[in-house]
């Protein structure tokens, strides 16, 4: 009986560690992404919308896949029918971030501001099957609620940290 309980405990610990590792990895990716956003925008803080719906990443990825864009050969693995199914399975709608924003430098909840143009909407990343690449997307609304679609950022996990690899831009109107 003790052996069975011990084995169950070991399995539970492994599952718990795996789940927390994925969350930590995503939090580290977001930490780097927020730092990049702060540097690029030259702002001193980010007001993050709690909405993290990522359907737009998949929709834009699908359009790029149909266009057969020229890619760096090292990134061709992110565009395939197999990855397409994988990405589609990660699409979430009407979802909210479950993050402790106090652990992020200069990132605050959008609930702390009443200016819509200050809010950054960041979609939950979608990952390649091997989780070596993550596709990230964010946007800001203008003062009148109009927003423009920025590119998809691709990050690579090199075994230690997430590194921005490339930017996928759409050209023209679709």
Distance CA 128, CA 35 (A): 23
Which are the contacts of 118, defined by CB distance < 8 A and separation ≥ 6? 47, 110, 140
**pTM greater than 0.85:** no
What is the per-residue pLDDT for 132? 93
pLDDT value for 55: 92
Q: What is the pLDDT of residue 4?
A: 63
Question: Which pLDDT does position 143 carry in this prediction?
Answer: 67
pLDDT value of position 66 = 77
Q: What is the dihedral of CA 64, 161, 164, 45, to 10 degrees?
A: 110
- d(CA 66, CA 44) in angstroms, rounded, equals 38
- List per-residue pLDDT tens for the chain, 174 residues long: 666 655 555 544 445 444 434 445 899 999 999 999 888 888 889 999 999 999 988 988 888 777 766 666 777 788 888 899 999 999 999 899 999 999 999 999 988 887 777 788 999 999 999 999 999 998 887 666 666 667 899 999 999 999 999 888 776 544
Contacts of 42 (CB under 8 A, 6+ apart): none
* Relative orientation angle of helices 55-67 and 81-89, to the nearest 10 degrees: 170
């Amino acid at each position: 009986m003790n052996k069975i309980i011990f084995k169950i405990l070991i399995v539970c610990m492994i599952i718990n560690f795996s789940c927390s590792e994925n969350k930590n990895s995503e939090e580290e990716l977001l930490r780097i992404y927020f730092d990049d956003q702060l540097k690029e925008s030259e702002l001193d803080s980010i007001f993050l919308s709690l909405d993290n719906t990522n359907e737009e990443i998949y929709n834009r990825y699908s359009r790029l896949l149909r266009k057969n864009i020229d890619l760096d050969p090292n990134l061709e693995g992110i565009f395939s029918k197999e990855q397409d199914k994988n990405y589609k399975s990660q699409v979430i709608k009407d979802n909210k971030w479950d993050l402790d924003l106090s652990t992020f430098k200069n990132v605050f909840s959008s609930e702390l501001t009443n200016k819509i143009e200050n809010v950054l909407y960041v979609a939950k990343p979608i990952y390649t099957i091997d989780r070596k690449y993550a596709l990230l997307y964010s946007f800001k609304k203008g003062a009148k609620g109009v927003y423009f679609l920025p590119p998809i950022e691709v990050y690579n996990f090199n075994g230690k940290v997430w590194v921005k690899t490339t930017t996928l831009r759409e050209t023209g109107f679709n």
